[in-house]
Amino acid sequence: MQRTGRREFLMAAGLTPVAMMGAGVPEAALAAGQTAIETLPMLPEEQPKHKIRFGVVGMSHDHIYGMAAAVMRGGGELVSAWGSEPDKLANFTKRFPNVPIKATQDEIINDPSLQVILTSQVPNERTQIGLRAMRAGKDVLADKPGIITLKELADVRKAIKSTGRMYKIQYSERLDVRAAVHAGELIKQGAIGTVIQTINLAPHQIFQNGGDAGGGGGRPDWFWDDARFGGILADIGSHQVDQFLYYTGSTKAEIVTSQVANLKHPDRPKFQDFGDMMLRSDKGFGYIRLDWFTPKGLGTWGDGRLFILGTDGYIEARKYINVGVEKKGNLLIVVNQQGTRVIDCTNGPLPFGPQFVKDVVNRTHTAQDQDQALLAAELSITAQKNAKRINGLG
């Protein structure tokens, strides 16, 4: 079978590429109906300007590897780790053979030489680990969902005020995706005017063939129990709510409606394999669809799509695959009054790690707005709590 690349795909679709440039295309060079094909240049990796020491307390989800890598890019030194699952510990020690494994959580949380605690422990245990770490003088980076109940959320907000520590949540579908990062930069530049709506389509895959997305080695018991993982809207939905708030610049928002269903897994009554929600804020509108129905034939864990509508154009992000064209993702399609741009963001930066380390040192919030991170948690928890539960179709 002949493979079709991005340029060939555009040509076959009847589009006219006007440029193949590494640094981008001036908008004045575009005309209606023309398409500019761009590739972000690979910039030299910036050397870390700060140093911190951090520990890992809980590695139930494989997101911990991306989290640790981000902090290490920023100048973090991984000092120690604890995990409760033997298989996860075995994989972790293969990745980090020189990192001491501690027998208890407290050995790491109470280590005065550490500034930060990372955790991807089972979701219903994450917040308590974070609260203990904050009270011990540590900043926290928790995997999503960093919080799964409104009481936990209230406790985190109180702890932030009383301790002066940070409780950051790794919403990796924005912070660790180069196309999502560049979409934010384009919005800041005014490429599509004022953002008024986001649409997130977020399919996931239960069993994967390797990788760090969570299902590379099968799914543990807690994955199937919404009391432990939070429910589909509070869990993977929190990624998408974060994007809605970030791209619209919203500081206040509400859930208009939400629903969840278990359509294919009747033997797992505490699991949901479908969910969606509508949001409205002081800056725009949002729709989010989530599911666990990605077929094996796709070749990756999900065809994640993001559509951002502005007053003067729109952006589509094909995050993980350019389906029907090639397996590579990190593609942006930008349409505005000047024309169409297709941007390969494979070489784009991932600034979260260095920014997070800098925030820890300088007590700033550049990497992630603290209020916005917690508002994303609040909205996703509320959507889950108030969701209409659908017991089958037909």
Residue 356 forms part of a structural domain: no
User: Which regions of the chain does DSSP assign to beta strands (E)?
Assistant: 16-21, 34-39, 52-57, 76-82, 116-119, 139-143, 167-170, 195-203, 253-261, 274-281, 285-291, 305-310, 313-318, 331-336, 339-344, 388-390
Residue 316 forms part of a structural domain: yes
Q: In the block, which residue shows the tokens 């907000």?
A: 157
Asked if 295 and 146 sit in the same domain, the reply is no
Asked if 232 and 293 sit in the same domain, the reply is yes
Pair type for strands 285-291 and 305-310: unpaired
Give the chain's domain count. 2
Asked if 144 and 214 sit in the same domain, the reply is no
Query: Which residues on neighbouring strands pair with residue 218, listed in sequence order?
Result: 216
Asked if 342 and 253 sit in the same domain, the reply is yes
Asked if 154 and 89 sit in the same domain, the reply is yes
Residue 90 forms part of a structural domain: yes
Q: For residue 139, give its domain range.
A: 52-170+361-366
Asked if 58 and 136 sit in the same domain, the reply is yes
Residue 386 forms part of a structural domain: no
pLDDT of 366 > 50? The answer is yes
Asked if 22 and 166 sit in the same domain, the reply is no
* CATH code of 270's domain: 3.30.360.10
Taking the alpha carbons of 328, 314, 334, 187 in that order, is the dihedral positive or negative?
Answer: negative
Query: In this structure, what is the dihedral angle of CA atoms 187, 188, 194, 197, given to the nearest 10 degrees?
Result: 40
Residue 377 forms part of a structural domain: no
Residue 378 forms part of a structural domain: no
* Cβ atoms of 233 and 384 closer than 8 Å: yes
216 — pLDDT class (breaks 50, 70, 90): low
Asked if 217 and 96 sit in the same domain, the reply is no
User: Given this model, what pLDDT does residue 45 score?
Assistant: 82
Q: What is the pLDDT of residues 72-123, one digit of tens each?
A: 999 999 999 999 999 999 999 999 999 999 999 999 999 999 999 999 999 9
User: Which regions of 109-166 does DSSP assign to beta strands (E)?
Assistant: 116-119, 139-143
Residue 381 forms part of a structural domain: no
Q: What is the pLDDT of residues 184-208, one digit of tens each?
A: 999 999 999 999 999 999 999 999 7
pTM above 0.85, yes or no: yes
* Cβ atoms of 350 and 174 closer than 8 Å: no
Beta-carbon contacts of 357 under 8 Å, excluding residues fewer than 6 positions away, are 48, 50, 52, 71, 74, 75, 76
Spatial separation of the C-alpha atoms in residues 233 and 277, rounded to whole Å: 8
Asked if 60 and 163 sit in the same domain, the reply is yes
Asked if 188 and 166 sit in the same domain, the reply is no
Element spanning 66, H or E? helix 63-73
Q: What is the pLDDT of residues 239-287, one digit of tens each?
A: 999 999 999 999 999 999 999 999 999 999 999 999 999 999 999 999 9
Residue 372 forms part of a structural domain: no
User: Given this model, what pLDDT does residue 209 score?
Assistant: 67
**Nearest of 304, 155, 322 to residue 240 by alpha carbon:** 304
DSSP string, 90-101: HHHHHH-TTSPB
* Cβ atoms of 378 and 42 closer than 8 Å: no
Peptide bond into 203 cis (omega under 30): no
User: Given this model, what pLDDT does residue 22 score?
Assistant: 44
Q: What is the pLDDT of residues 2-59, one digit of tens each?
A: 445 555 555 544 444 444 444 444 554 555 668 999 999 998 888 999 999 999 999 9
Asked if 132 and 210 sit in the same domain, the reply is no
